[in-house]
Chains A and B, each alone.
Chain A
Amino acid sequence: MTDKKAKYQKVAYYPGCALEGSATAYDRSTRAVGKALGLDLVDVKDWNCCGAMEVKNIDAKIQTYLSSRVMSIAANEMDMDVVMAPCNGCYHNLKKAEYDLKNDENSREVVGKLSEKAGHATYASGQVETIHALDWIRDTIGEKGLGERVKNSLKGLKIANYYGCMYTRPRHIFPEKDQGPGSESTSKPHFMDDLLAAAGAVNVEFPLKTACCGGAHTLSDSDMSTKLVLNIIRAAEAAGADVIATECPTCHSGLEMHQIRAQKRFGVETKVKIIYFTQLLGLALGLKPKKVGIHENISDSLGLLKEKGLA
């Protein structure tokens, strides 16, 4: 644990396209929390899209190359050994590229060829470790450290922690998970629960932690996505949650969009608020709502936060 604590103090930060577009609130709050905790983020230079969920459907190896380029820049041009990606999609794709480059000769060959033509060093598996924002905060500050730094407890806020698909599935690309006590679980993840509990929140019993929001078809098959999102939102509300905490920009905007779409198209009104976990941690650390981008969310949670004494 201690070597990670030192290793993750300064990491290469890979925000990805969504955090520059629809998820500026996640970017803002991640940076603000890092600053408040005294952790160092160095942006990956000239990064590119990881391929998201779309490019692999055209060709999976192009996606592997795209993700490898980001890791190559961090390792070979910035001399970093950790890449931190808060977006589940980026995190997933970098992990998948790492796995493929370690285990598949064909992927290594394609990535080598493309990197050479593109004019940069080829990424070799093992050069960097890719971590999620959850790992980053948990392994540096930890639950105890976070608890000590809380200025504004999330006490009384009932939270359903929603992790989504890409943080845990498929299992084989996350060799560090499911390794017994202290490691993350792919069937019942708990890192976000642990951090928010340390910040004073009440985590409700929420069975759909890793259910799918239909993010892949949010525009191309919107009715399907609305149904899937409604399952998640209704389960959270049934469990008594005020807030669904998110850790993925696709899940987050999917929940926000389809909460509205459900009301417009199916007349189903739901009340639960959608907030990034980094926003919640920032508030607990005493940051003002604006500093963590509460105003940039579509889901308007300001009233609830005021009611709970957090804004």
Chain B
Amino acid sequence: MNEKKIIELKGVSKSFDGELILDNIDLKVYEKEFMTLLGPSGCGKTTTLRIIAGFVTPDCGELLFDGEKINEVPPYKRSVNTVFQKYALFPHLNVYENIAFALRLKKTPEEEIYERVEEMLTMVNLRGFEKRDVNLLSGGQQQRVAIARALINKPRVLLLDEPLGALDLKLRKDMQNELKNIQRKTGITFIYVTHDQEEALSMSDTVVVMANGKIQQIGSPTDIYNEPENAFVADFIGESNIIDGVMLDDFKVRFSGHEFVCLDKGFSKNEPVDVVVRPEDVDVVPVEKGMLSGIVDSVTFKGVHYEIIVTINKFKWMIQSTDYVAPAQKIGIYVEPDAIHIMKKSEFSGMFGDYSSFSDELEHLSDVTEEEE
């Protein structure tokens, strides 16, 4: 990865109608980077993107582009382009004219426009669609037109605001690959906004997890997944059992009434901590061999594995296992030292990680409400 900073936010805050949406954000974006802003609705990720695009002016803080402050530069003078959530294609223009729009504004000669539009169409696999009416295209095709339209200007940075949100699962996977390819081919910096953690992990060089208008963690996908910094990140990225624990000593933690060996150190003695154990890292064993034991509440078949909810010491654990266990059965569990991750207590402690009220539906509900300005 190139180490040259292209965009930098320094202490940026923004509030709407007295409500703080962005709280003192610091962020560096490097050239040729694929960066994802990840977070639930209302976390401020879209606002961050809109500040970079120029549709929103920050209340305080600095926005630097190539080291120059551009807070007051209007959107049409920034070499940044955006792919909008619902594409925002111009309904009165056909595919060719939509893509050519930016070049037309610059009074580019027709031959050059033709060449570059064709080049873009080839890149997004839409050759032969020039004369099509954009209103009659499928979601995926509209998406490609939107990307082509934004890229024809050869921007330094491309901003993508949940661009795949409206597509179905299969198409979304294809488009993820395609976007990644386009990014690699063009070498343009992508800043990508999504609330889909899987999308974020599979596409990005860098993931920025946001919540409550603050950045919770910046890191590579593996860092974010394996070393979450607090309960929020642990819960938001993948599934996690987050249990109150006490750090007895380096490499020694106590939770659920049992002492465990772990790989973490550097905490003070007897410091209360949050302990993260990923469901797939828990092994189901016979009761007598288990470090802990509990009664199975429910079992759900998920295809690749079973999802088992077990009550251990009044805490509901989620376990993913390829072996079937029957509900109401008493089982033992075994956790390897490297499966245990210790985090410092944070404002999110105690809010996540218990599966007593777990429901798929609730999680989807929170995704439906689209982030408003």
Say if A and B assemble together.
Answer: no
Enumerate chain A interface residues (CB-CB to B < 8 A). Answer: none
Enumerate chain B interface residues (CB-CB to A < 8 A). Answer: none
